Structure 1
Amino acid sequence: MRVAVVSMDTVWTRDRPATRRTRRVARGLAARGHDVHHLCAQWWGGDIDQFEEEGVEYHAVTEGTAAGSFRSKLPFALRNVDPDVVHAVSVPPGHATTATTAAKVLRVPVVVDWWERDPQRGSDRQYRKAASRADRVLAPSETVRTAVREHGASDVNARVIPESIDFDLVRSAGVDDRFDAVWARELDGDANVGEFLLALAELRDRDWTAAVVGDGPARADAERMAADLRIDDRVAFLGDLTEAEFVPVLKGSHVFAQTATYEPFATHLLWALACGCVGIVEYQAGSSAHELVEGLERGRLVTSPQELADEIVACGSLPEWETNRGFAGFDREEVLSEWVDCYEETIDGYGWF
């Protein structure tokens, strides 16, 4: 199968969860023998227009990340690639719409991967066009799928394909048992790590150790808050960790706390649940994290730091696990098969409706 990935941004020009998802899917498809062409802004040096990395052929539609220029040149780039299916991202939305228009001329379907709606990079009208004109719209969670449907995608065309983890790593990794509770995410304006720290402060008189994994502009404030709460001697700020470093920490911990106010898909929580942690999620309207723990024996939903503290104590009675096989279905290869199936179904059904 010949796949054209349309995303001006890459991890080398804009390192975000959405671009990491795009790279992971593209590399996975290439590893399975599919012919993958990523149409993007040039991120490599030199005068060459094409560059291969990890089996993916990158095509420089533009030299820089100018959205208007990229959109004007995209139809010609798509024609040159001549794909069987087009995989476009939702941001900027005008690129997905342009890809859909060009694909109709080429008589090939378009699948839009909708991670989020960034209002600073497109109007509501543009997002509605991107959602309603694509042949399929894929979302990482039901929360995002609901938003996609509100922007015009039909129930039939909108589908969930979640994020994935390396379950072989979960099985084989060692155990770092320094911490009882872990919180992990980029420390930005949506992190809301203060809720975790307040919950720990409620348990100041108990015996525990905790880790905060991640880095970002909110880290200094979080470290200062831990000191003000007089728990900084028991909370370790570990910074960014690789997956190989992160998994042992999770396997040795009993509780993982999720408090972020915005999360299209709670990937760190997924890793934690697969590593046997009890997942305690503070419900937030802008986060999909609750989807992973609803109805789960080793999952809890709370609405405040006090409830979070109470659940940390209550979950102490649950047995300690190092692996939860119930999450093997989120393995990289399992989820990649969902992408391939979706492409094939979209190709087979193209032109029927």
Structure 2
Amino acid sequence: MHIAFVSLETVHHRDTETNRRLRTICELLRDAGHDVHVFCAPHWGGDHPQFEQDGITYHAIAESTDARSGVAFRLPIALARAKPDVIHVTATPPGQVAPAAVGAMLARTPLVLEWYGDGGVFPHRWRRWAAGRADRLHVPSELVATWIREQGLSGDSIETVPNPIDLERIRSVDPGEEVDVVYARRLDEGANLESLFLGLAELRRKDWTATVIGDGPEREAYEQLASDLRIRDRITFRGECSREERIAVYRGAHVFAQTAEHCVFPTEMCWALASGCVGIVEYHVDSSAHELVEGLDRGFRTTSEAELADAIVEAGDLERLDYDETFAEYDRSEILDRYLVQYRTLQDEQGLL
């Protein structure tokens, strides 16, 4: 298939959750042999109108990531000329969505809107207009789907597609040393690592070890908090780690704790649970992490530090695993199939197959 992605800003411009999601989808399709084109602001040197990198072709349709830089006129024409089988546009920046919708009408091809949820809920009237004309809206979780429904958009067009993980990659990495609790996230103001530390402090008289993966502006403050709570000697701060290093930690750990207040999809937690960890989630209204443990025998949902501490103790009675086939539905191959089935269904609905 020939798929055209529209995103003025890519991970080459700025590292955000939305841009990482776009890159992942493009790579899934590319690895399966599909023809992937990204219409964006240039991130390469020189004045070439297009650039191929790692099997993906990038097309310059604006001078910058500012959606006001001529994209309203250039994008529809560029998409019509490209004649893709499907047009897949991200919702950020909002100014690119309406031109993509016009391009889809000119090209007579289905339009998929990818809204990851880390940029607000349709604050721009043109994005809302285009969202109502998209053939499908892809979101990463039921939490984000609920946000969209609350804006008055039809739930019939919303498709929940989680971020993928790689089960083969998990199986290829040897488990690391045993640790009782692991936490992984950028250590910024939204990490809420203090909830985990307060829960662990309640278990000070018990024998446990913990590992924190990730770095950020609040790392020093969290290290100081661990010292103040007199648990610093039992916590290892690993900083940034490669994917293989993270998998090794997860496969050696018993519990993965998710306490962040905002999370549209708990990607690291999904990797950890598939690596055999028991999942413990502190519930927050703006986090979808609880969706991953609902109905799960090896999952706990808590609402306070005391409940979190109790869950860690209770999890100790569960068998240690270093792999869990339960999460096969999140594997790259399964997520790829969901995208392809969706694309072909849309084509069939429009009589294009």
Deviations 1:59-118 (A, max 9, x none): 112232222115323223212322111000111222122211221122111001110152
Q: Counterpart of 1:204?
A: 204
Provide the rounded CA distance (Å) in 1 between the counterparts of 2:55 and 2:152: 35
User: How far has the Cα of 1:270 moved from its partner?
Assistant: 0.4
Within 5 Å, which residues of 2 pair with 1:59-138?
59-69=59-69, 71-72=71-72, 73-116=74-117, 118-119=119-120, 123-138=123-138
User: How far has the Cα of 1:47 moved from its partner?
Assistant: 2.1
Inter-CA distance 220–76: structure 2 relative to 1 (3 Å threshold):
farther
Cα pair 1:182 1:212 within 8 Å, conserved: yes
Cα pair 1:51 1:59 within 8 Å, conserved: yes
Deviations 1:162-203 (A, max 9, x none): 111010012221011242100111222221111111111111
Q: Counterpart of 2:231?
A: 231
Cα pair 1:90 1:117 within 8 Å, conserved: no
Which stretches in structure 2 are left out of the alignment for 5+ residues?
none
Provide the rounded CA distance (Å) in 1 between the counterparts of 2:332 and 2:156: 25
Provide the rounded CA distance (Å) in 2 between the counterparts of 1:239 and 1:163: 23
Which residue identity lines up with residue 114 of structure 2 in the other structure? Answer: D
Which residue identity lines up with residue 94 of structure 1 in the other structure? Answer: G
Cα pair 2:80 2:106 within 8 Å, conserved: no
Number of aligned residues: 351
Residue 5 of structure 2 is aligned to residue 2 of structure 1 = no
**For structure 1, which segment, 280-289 or 109-118, has the greater mean C-alpha deviation from structure 2 after superposition?**
109-118
Inter-CA distance 229–52: structure 2 relative to 1 (3 Å threshold):
same
Provide the rounded CA distance (Å) in 2 between the counterparts of 1:337 and 1:151: 29
Cα pair 1:131 1:151 within 8 Å, conserved: no
Inter-CA distance 130–212: structure 2 relative to 1 (3 Å threshold):
farther
Which residue identity lines up with residue 116 of structure 1 in the other structure? Answer: G
Q: Counterpart of 1:179?
A: 179
User: How far has the Cα of 1:295 moved from its partner?
Assistant: 0.6
Residue 319 of structure 2 is aligned to residue 319 of structure 1 = yes
Cα pair 2:76 2:106 within 8 Å, conserved: no
TM score, norm. by length of structure 2: 0.95
RMSD: 1.7
Provide the rounded CA distance (Å) in 2 between the counterparts of 1:127 and 1:299: 37
Q: Counterpart of 1:263?
A: 263
Q: Counterpart of 2:277?
A: 277
Cα pair 2:90 2:114 within 8 Å, conserved: yes
Which stretches in structure 1 are left out of the alignment for 5+ residues?
none
Provide the rounded CA distance (Å) in 1 between the counterparts of 2:280 and 2:138: 27
| Partner SS state of residue 38, structure 1 | strand
Provide the rounded CA distance (Å) in 2 between the counterparts of 1:265 and 1:231: 30
Cα pair 2:17 2:118 within 8 Å, conserved: no
Cα pair 2:63 2:69 within 8 Å, conserved: no
User: How far has the Cα of 1:220 moved from its partner?
Assistant: 2.1
Provide the rounded CA distance (Å) in 1 between the counterparts of 2:283 and 2:131: 27
Q: Counterpart of 1:154?
A: 154
TM score, norm. by length of structure 1: 0.95
Residue 287 of structure 2 is aligned to residue 287 of structure 1 = yes
**For structure 1, which segment, 294-303 or 59-68, has the greater mean C-alpha deviation from structure 2 after superposition?**
59-68
Inter-CA distance 303–154: structure 2 relative to 1 (3 Å threshold):
same
